[in-house]
Structure 1
Amino acid sequence: MNKVENNSGIIHACYTEATRAGEHFIEDPGISCIISGSMTAFDGTVAHTFLPGDVVLYRKNILARFSKQPANGKPFESVAVLLDQPLLLELSKDFGEKATPRTEKSFNTYHSNELLINYFGSLRLLSHTKNLSPALLQLKKKEAVLLLLQQDPSAAQLLFDFSIPGKIDLEAFMHQHYKFNVSLPQLAYLTGRSLASFKRDFEKIFSLSPNRWIQRRRLQEAYYLINDKKRKPKDVFLEVGFETLSHFSYAFKKQFGLNPSAIGI
């Protein structure tokens, strides 16, 4: 049984079966504590693995794909707090923290100390307690930030980054993130462009529309994984960005003239 309880941004997740939690465009920072099981987060470059006792701080404006697995006879369980920009702006003023140069690191990982263990234990209770006052929920979120800064002042680089994405190398970005199932407006935003500019620049670079290039690139990667790495189609289609095996098989045959199961035979 898989269960997620979200109480105004305080989230308790418990999975008794392995799950691929999908791709996310992360708009705001967040802090998550792994209680049991393990979680893998792929940011387009590196697959990060988090284990029980790890506290994970992730920055805003990133793409990430999560998978969560039970382990050692226990379910995957985590508690997280989502941090919105108004709250972080308030804290940055109250505690004299100013926006620092943006870091390109997607995640910071900490091992729980006694303060963090007790804090996330209290969040675990609050996550499924109804009718909590908004003031109390905001106070608990502020507590998360202060505890993390107490342990690592450099975490301010991720927490108090209020910038918006600047214009970046579109070609490099797409080769790194083509597997993520997010909308074109989100991709445009992350590259520092309007949607119209994104499409115009994209076709200048790749000589194809974004949707056509993304599908072709995913299929090329799938062919490589199946033919060269001897992976099975059912183990590949999600990894390269398709949502269903049937759609993947149809697109693959249309592109290469063969069913993916016939490759390498």
Structure 2
Amino acid sequence: MKQVIKIPESPDIVSAKENSLKFDDYSVLQHSFQGKEEKGMMYMENHALLFVLEGHSTLSLGEDQYEVGKNEMTLLRKATGVLYERHGNLENNGKYCEMMFSISEDMISTFLATTEKIIPKGTNGKIRTGVHRMSECLITFTDSLRVYFDDSQGVYSGQLRLKMTEMLYHLGIGNDGLFQELLQLRKPVQKEIQHIVEQYYTSSISMEDLASLSGRSISSFKRDFKAIYNMAPAAWIRKKRLDKAREMLESTQLPVAEICFSLGFENISHFSRIFKEYHGQAPTFYRTSL
């Protein structure tokens, strides 16, 4: 659950704490803070199950938006960019707490191959699209993990594998809706390159991350991209940003610096130089011509 890119968090946060447990290629993350809210963006390199234990979280995935409240959970698929707003529980001194479990296709396949057939008891509570209520067993399960975070150095990989197996049992028996979503992870998904680059070309995102978001290796991404656009990804992104910059300069009163940073450029002087090379005039020429 590596956060490849994370927007700086809100200055209103009083304190934040993040602990992790790792085994093999998997991890379990516990994140908590005492304050008003946190905002940011994360790109999912692995599938992950998110459990909100205190407070609530607003997640934006493209055009979809989910509200995940206390003792609710959702599945975040890999190769997805997620905007988040975490809100502390004002009735509990602004406390927020979540746990996030990385999930792989191999983990699901191994679980299904080595366990008896699970007979679900049905979904616990009302289902909203993408959001599921945690069963009492899952609430107890997450509570049982807190002691592991207090002494992560003394935890063995075998213990964590058993805990992951326990979690999958709880999902299969008491939260059939989310368990069925997990089963679908075994089907590989490749996203359209056009959709990915149009959505993220203004972000400070690496080519490797764009490839991951599209469900491709870096070499496959570059090859497929060139077949579509007849140019390399880096050149296309630069052209797209500079065309958008001129459009914003001509149609808005936003400061040049704000336009520069909003389009993923990190240095104003660099932006001004390549803008003039591309358009033949400095950015201020288009601003003063309004």
Please give the per-residue CA displacement for 1:166-199, whole angstroms capped at 9, x wherever unaligned.
Answer: 4x53323322343555442443355465534432
- Is 2:174 the partner of 1:151? yes
Which residue does 1:140 correspond to in 2? 163
- When normalised by structure 1's length, the TM-score is 0.71
Shift in alpha-carbon separation, 1:185–1:10, aligned structure 2, 3 A: closer
The equivalent residue for 1:202 is 225
- Cα-to-partner distance string for 1:47-81 (whole Å, 9 max, x where unaligned): 33322232122233433343434352413321222
Native 8 Å contact 1:23 1:64 kept in 2: yes
CA separation in 2, counterparts of 1:113 and 1:241?
43
Match of 2:52 among 20, 25, 34: 34
Q: 1:157 to 1:116 in 2, by over 3 A?
A: closer
Matched, 1:184 2:243: no
**How many correspondences in the alignment?**
249
User: Match for residue 109 of structure 1?
Assistant: 131
Aligned partners of 2:143, 2:204: CA distance in 1, in Å? 34
| Per-residue deviation, residues 141-182 of structure 1 (Å, max 9, x unmatched) | 11222212223324344323224344x533233223435554
- 1:92 match: 112
Q: Deviations over 1:95-154 (max 9, x none)?
A: 458xxxxxxxxx831123322222222223322233123222112111222212223324
**Cα contact 1:22–1:65 (8 A) shared by 2:** yes
Q: Which residue of the partner structure matches residue 11 of structure 2?
A: none
Q: CA RMSD in A?
A: 3.9
Question: How high is the sequence identity, in percent, across the aligned residues?
Answer: 17
5 Å-filtered alignment, 1:113-262, equals: 113-130=135-152, 131-160=154-183, 161-166=185-190, 168-179=191-202, 181-188=204-211, 190-191=213-214, 193-217=216-240, 242=264, 246-247=266-267, 251=271, 254-255=274-275, 257-258=282-283
SS at match of 2:155: coil
- SS at 2:186's partner residue? coil
CA distance in structure 2 between the partners assigned to 1:70 and 1:233 by the alignment? 35
Q: Secondary structure at the match of 2:163?
A: helix
Cα distance in 2 between the residues matched to 1:115 and 1:236:
50
Contact 1:165 1:190 in 2 (8 A): no
Structure 1 CA distance for aligned equivalents of residues 230 and 204 of structure 2:
21
Q: Residues 1-27 of structure 1, C-alpha deviation per residue, up to 9 Å, x if partnerless?
A: 221100122221113354344332332
Q: TM-score, normalised by structure 2?
A: 0.66
Match of 2:6 in 1: none
